[in-house]
Chain A
Amino acid sequence: MIITIKVSKMSDFKRPDGRKNDELRPMEAKAGIIKRADGSAMFKVGNTVAYAAVYGPRELYPKFLQNPGHGILRCNYNMMPFSGSGERIRPGGNRRSKEISMVTEKALSPVLDLSEYPNAVVDVYIELPQTDAGSRCAGICAASIALADAGLPMKDLVAAISVGNLNGNLVVDLDKEEEDIEGEVADIPIAVVPSTGEITLLQMDGIVLKDELKKALEMGIKSCRKITEIQRKALKDKYKVDAKSEGE
């Protein structure tokens, strides 16, 4: 089979929603929105909305899952049945959500220090009531705010964003429309520890050249630094609001 590659030049390329190539969708974050959880957060990227709730450290059963050396992190990613743009999907877990739960765990655990909590578990529930691509990234961003809100010791807040290649044009933060563009499209979600620049999640769907990948990652790391600012602000605002209402 012959694959014809259409490469439109950088200059006449335009993103469907008119954003610049390195421009993020409007983002919003809030900490402490679920009262009964030990820590919680909402993270919104354009039309993708993620809620994360953290419970624990708490007892872990069944007992064979316990680790006497350190506590474990358990993530659960769930897209709600009506969250996508298409038809209602079958509710509950599937192979995709299982995989994303696993990569979320691996993206977050390098910054989290649970050595103080042997045999215990920290549960993170990520729910997506509305999605428009980039849901695992939004989930990771929300989860990392929620973990900090739960008062757990962590080295840094993890930020995540997708970068991609749309027919030779490198862009950050793809939405669903861009993901579905015809031609040579790559969607690369990454998660970054901003203080060190370490990458804790790197997946790819599509085709990308080596040089393009390197460039795309740089763009992604830069965007993640911006996201960290939003995450930090969300956590600080939780306590600022108190101060304001008190002043009245």
Chain B
Amino acid sequence: MGELLVKEKEIVVPGEELAKGMSYLPGQGCYRKDDEVLSSKLGLVNVDGRAIKIIPLTGTYNPKRNDVIIGNVIDVSLYGWRIHTNSAYSAMLSAKDATNEFIEKGADLTQYINLGEYVAAKIIKVTSQKLIDLTMKGPGLRKLAGGRIIHVNNNKVPRIIGKQGSMISMIKDATGARIIVGQNGVAWIQGDPEGELIAINAIRMIEEQSHISGLTDRVKEYLDKACKGRPKRAREEREDDNNHQGEQNE
């Protein structure tokens, strides 16, 4: 009979024994050696029935299909744009997937999206050689004008967004800022200067404390305190932003 050697949500390191016996199965971030299950990543233990998996706490972004990411344009070619994805691999945004407008053959693509600009785009394909294709057709996907870009730990993005987008909506409601958090750990924030700062602080707080329970209450407390005396802002034109992000959360 199998025996679990660690507790749920415990922090484990590579090479640590998680369970003995064949009745437990190694999931993501684990491997089997003889009749033991060992960890192969630094992270939190998650036991789901017989399967054990590790939720990573660190690590660079690994591109996945259907992820919404925020990227920087690093090159403009004849047919599209090359986008830096904050991972080891850059992505291709084809002109045909970028806009519904008709783009004439040989047109200067920089008049649509220029070098150095940021876009919110969705990954439609990742090959085994990590060639990535992006699209900008979809709700909330667009060129990002104005606002500011911050980098966050990409492993904490699901925590920043929260269940069904609850956490991010809370920050947006409190600060009046528009926020898009890309799965690759790049976030775009636009609002009045003070609101932007409060939103950044809240996001940093989530990043640091996400593995400690009671996070939502602490963030709420912080936001209430920080936003005291600020005029309440109406929720304007944010229907297109992050409302669909809840679905991406696991």
Chain A interface (Cβ < 8 Å from any Cβ of B): 38-39, 56-59, 68, 71, 111, 113, 116-121, 148-157, 193-196, 228, 231-232, 235-236, 239-240, 242-243, 246
Contact = CB atoms under 8 A, between A and B. Distances in A.
A148 B212 CA distance: 21
A123 B56 CA distance: 20
A240 B23 CA distance: 31
Nearest to A59: B88
A151 B58 contact: yes
Size band of the interface chain B makes with A? 20 to 34
In the complex, the 8 A-B pairs of residues with the closest C-beta atoms, listed nearest first:
A151-B59, A156-B15, A151-B58, A120-B88, A57-B88, A154-B14, A235-B13, A153-B40
Chain B interface secondary structure, helix, strand, loop or mixed? loop
B212 A242 contact: yes
Nearest to B208: A242
Interface string B51-93: 0000011111010000000000000000000000001111000
A153 B33 CA distance: 15
B128 interface: yes
Interface string B194-218: 0000000000000011011000000
Contacts of A57: 60, 87-88
A55 to B, nearest CB: 9
A115 to B, nearest CB: 10
Contacts of B128: 118
A14 B208 CA distance: 49
Interface in B1-44: 11, 13-16, 29, 31, 33, 38, 40-43
Given A120-B88, A152-B41, A240-B11, 16 more contacts: A68-B129, A71-B88, A120-B130, A121-B88, A148-B41, A150-B60, A151-B155, A154-B14, A154-B40, A156-B38, A157-B14, A195-B33, A228-B15, A232-B16, A235-B13, A242-B212
30 contacts: A38-B60, A57-B87, A59-B90, A68-B129, A111-B14, A116-B62, A117-B130, A118-B129, A119-B89, A119-B129, A120-B89, A148-B41, A148-B42, A150-B59, A151-B43, A151-B56, A152-B41, A154-B15, A154-B40, A154-B41, A156-B14, A156-B38, A157-B13, A195-B33, A195-B38, A232-B16, A235-B11, A236-B11, A239-B57, A246-B212
A233 to B, nearest CB: 9
A153 B130 contact: no
Given A151-B155, A232-B13, A236-B11, A119 B130 contact: yes
B11 A246 contact: no
B42 A149 contact: yes
A38 B38 contact: no
Contact of A39 (B11, B58, B155, B209): B58
